[in-house]
């Protein structure tokens, strides 16, 4: 099973796994059930060696996600116990996405707000349409924003931009988001699908061991110095040099052809 709810689609498309928030009538607001479904989908993609990269997006073309489904807050986030359960599901989803060992791309159209932005920040890359709008409106709702989410955002855009995003709770356009480093690239909306598909295919065609080593080493470098596993970093680099893919890469370069990497 790739998903536990029809409001979160999880599909295989060759070497690309796709996770789609599927509640367009609510601008893809993320329900409790959708938060629970994200780790299920990721586990399925992690176990499938054919999947080399995962693209996360929203259905309908109007929103990546407008954030958590506020209509559930009265039933799911109003008491201490229900709030703890809800927050655990959110943290589990975001942490699983951040720790996922294959590359992830957030394809962002329209609104990317609150919890939706938290999901996008947990991805490795963010590619946005020029109509995208970004905000974390926690200060307008009286919500507390947890250390892990603030740290993840701060690692991406720095302390000053993090404060501006959270203090103001205002919406930022795609160019503002690119200027602060919140997104990697901005494309005209009509070109976004084709570009992201092509970019995902490019990543999927590269050596999986190399890509995995880079993802892991970057994650280690972002940790506090006393928590970094430098031995693991070195082991992953050595694994690349000892791999069949390294031999294939050298041969393909000399033969002037596209390499066929297998991840071994």
pLDDT 10s digits, 26-35: 999 999 999 9
* Strand arrangement, sheet containing 111-113: 63-65, 111-113, 133-135, 172-173
Q: CA 112 to CA 176: how far, in whole Å?
A: 14
Looking at residue 257, its pLDDT comes to 96
pLDDT higher than 70, residue 41? yes
Neighbour count for residue 191 (Cβ, 10 Å): 12
CB neighbour list of residue 152: distance below 8 Å, 6 or more residues apart: 94, 98, 118, 121, 122
Q: Indicate whether 61 pLDDT > 90.
A: yes
When the pLDDT of each residue in the chain is averaged and rounded to a whole number, the result is 94
pLDDT over 80 at 217, yes or no: yes
Please tell me whether the overall predicted TM-score, pTM, comes out greater than 0.75 for this model: yes
Mapped onto helix, strand or coil, the DSSP state of residue 50 is: coil
pLDDT at 172 (0 to 100):
98
Please compute the mean of the pLDDT values over residues 212-230 and round it to a whole number: 96
Q: Which pLDDT belongs to residue 3?
A: 77
> What is the pLDDT at residue 71?
78
Strands 104-108 and 8-13: unpaired
Residue range 233-258: mean pLDDT, rounded: 97
Question: In which band, very low, low, confident or very high, does the pLDDT at 85 lie, cut at 50, 70 and 90?
Answer: confident
At 60 the pLDDT is 97
Percentage of residues in the chain having pLDDT higher than 90: 88
pLDDT of residue 77: 59
pLDDT at 69: 85
Contact 30, 5 (CB under 8 A): no
Give the percent of the chain with pLDDT over 70: 97
Measure the CA–CA gap between 130 and 106, rounded to whole angstroms.
14
Q: How far is CA 148 from the centre of its chain?
A: 15
pLDDT band for position 259 (cuts 50, 70, 90) = very high
pLDDT at 110 over 90: yes
* Mean pLDDT to the nearest integer, 19-46: 96
More confident residue, 37 or 81: 37
| Dihedral angle, C-alpha 131, 170, 140, 39, nearest 10 ° | 50
Q: What pLDDT, on a 0 to 100 scale, did the predictor assign at position 74?
A: 65
Q: How far is CA 264 from CA 10, 77, 184, 209, 243, in A?
A: 26, 46, 30, 8, 6
Q: Which of the four pLDDT bands, split at 50, 70 and 90, describes residue 4?
A: confident
Residue listed under structure tokens 């919140």: 182
């Amino acid at each position: 099973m790739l998903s536990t709810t029809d409001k979160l689609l999880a599909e295989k498309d060759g070497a690309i796994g796709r996770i789609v928030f599927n509640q367009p009538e609510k601008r893809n607001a993320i329900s409790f059930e959708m938060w629970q479904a994200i780790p299920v989908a990721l586990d399925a993609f992690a176990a499938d060696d054919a999947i080399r990269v995962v693209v996360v997006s929203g259905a309908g073309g109007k929103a990546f996600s407008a954030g958590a489904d506020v209509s559930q807050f009265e039933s799911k986030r109003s008491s201490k116990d229900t709030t703890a359960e809800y927050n655990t599901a959110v943290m589990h989803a975001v942490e699983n996405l951040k720790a996922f060992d294959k590359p992830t791309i957030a394809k962002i159209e329209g609104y990317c707000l609150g919890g939706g932005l938290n999901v996008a920040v947990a991805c490795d890359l963010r590619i946005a349409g020029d109509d995208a709008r970004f905000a974390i409106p926690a200060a307008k709702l009286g919500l507390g924003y947890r250390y892990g989410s603030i740290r993840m955002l701060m690692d991406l855009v720095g302390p000053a931009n993090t404060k501006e995003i959270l203090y103001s709770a205002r919406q930022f356009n795609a160019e503002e988001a690119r200027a602060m480093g919140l997104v990697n690239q901005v494309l005209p909306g009509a070109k976004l699908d084709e570009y992201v598909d092509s970019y995902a295919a490019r990543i999927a065609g590269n050596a999986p061991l190399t890509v995995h080593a880079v993802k892991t080493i970057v994650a280690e470098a972002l940790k506090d110095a006393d928590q970094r596993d430098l031995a693991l970093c070195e082991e992953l680099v050595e694994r690349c040099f000892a791999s069949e893919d390294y031999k294939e890469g050298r041969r393909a370069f000399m033969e002037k052809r596209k390499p066929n990497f297998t991840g071994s």
